[in-house]
Amino acid sequence: MKRDRASWLVPIAIAACAGVVAYALAQIIQSTWFPAPDPRRTPSGGRIAFFWRAWMSLYVAVLIGIGAAGFRARVGAGLDRMLPPLIVGVALTALVQGIWFP
């Protein structure tokens, strides 16, 4: 069975979008519910939190990418039409997170 290039590129793009959204949501949750610790007591609290958010968003991106690959194999090119609005939504999510929840 021969696969075209879009059969892998679309799930990779969706996984990248999911990673950005997962990171932005983790940052929003952390900044609203769990304020930053006192920097005198924990010298590397900000860096540790960044790496946890990055690893969690990578994990979510891989899971969503695998799911998108399976969904695209079942649905076909119907998933490709959802990609441009998804990218715009992800850009807006990252913009909101960057402005209001740095």
Closest residue by Cα to residue 96 from 35, 16, 21: 21
**8 A C-beta contact, residue 60 and residue 9:** no
DSSP, collapsed to helix, strand or coil, labels residue 1 as: coil
| pLDDT, tens only, 59-96 | 999 999 999 999 988 887 788 888 899 999 999 999 99
Q: How far apart are CA 11 and CA 17, in angstroms?
A: 10
Domain ranges, ordered by start, for the chain = 18-33+57-102
| pLDDT, tens only, 24-67 | 999 999 888 877 666 666 656 567 778 888 999 999 999 999 99
Main-chain phi, psi angles of 101, to 5 degrees: -135, 65
